[in-house]
Structure 1
Amino acid sequence: MYNETDIIDNLQDLETFLVAVENGGLGLKDVAGVALATNNSDGRPFVAVLGDDHQLLLARWVTQDVFDNGKDLVRNGPKKH
């Protein structure tokens, strides 16, 4: 999450990230869900991949626009292609 060059800045990239999580393409195990959240210390938005015990497995910064407009995409999941 701390890589400043790895920011999701559009909804298409958010969808690609979600598909990769769903398909196991990121090598994560025991994924229970995905959520949009904000960092407590500075308020920056990010997308979080959560494990079975709600532990953070992976996170990526997102722009405010993606945070504001990607909520339905995260809530409902990406479209099946």
Structure 2
Amino acid sequence: MIDDQNVIETLSELEAFLLAVESGSLGLNDVAGVALATSNADGRPFVAVLDSQHQLLLGRWVSQDVYENGKELVRNGPSRVH
């Protein structure tokens, strides 16, 4: 499921989203990873929260700038302490 209402426009918004995933405040179960990806349907970039079976638990659209510049943040995780 991808949330169409909230597009992540900045790296600080991406970091806040990653912290929310890590802290468990989104109420997701069996979170195994986070990745940046593009939609097969239309090529739009999004951040994907995946379970242990590599199934999409939650997705949020991201701006092209966040997609291009947020790869290290997703790969290494947020630097702020939650």
Q: Is TM > 0.5 for Structure 1 vs Structure 2?
A: yes
Across the two proteins, how many residue pairs are aligned to each other?
Answer: 80
Structure 2 unaligned regions, length at least 5: none
AA at the equivalent of 1:11? L
1:8-19 equivalent positions in 2, closer than 5 A: 8-19=8-19
Aligned 8 A contact 2:35 2:47 in 1: yes
Match of 1:54 in 2: 54
Distance (Å, rounded) in 1 between the aligned partners of 2:80 and 2:40: 33
AA at the equivalent of 1:76? N
Distance (Å, rounded) in 1 between the aligned partners of 2:14 and 2:42: 22
Q: Matched residues, percent identical?
A: 65
Match of 1:35 in 2: 35
Task: Select the structure that is richer in strand.
Answer: 2
Distance (Å, rounded) in 1 between the aligned partners of 2:36 and 2:71: 7
Structure 1 unaligned regions, length at least 5: none
CA RMSD of aligned residues (A): 0.9
User: What TM-score comes out, normalization by structure 1 length?
Assistant: 0.95
Give the ranges of 4+ consecutive aligned residues of structure 1 lying more than 6 Å apart after TM superposition.
none
Q: Provide Cα deviations, 1:16-70, integer angstroms capped at 9, x if missing partner.
A: 0000000001000110000000001110000000001001000000000000000
Match of 2:7, SS state, is coil
Distance (Å, rounded) in 2 between the aligned partners of 1:8 and 1:57: 17
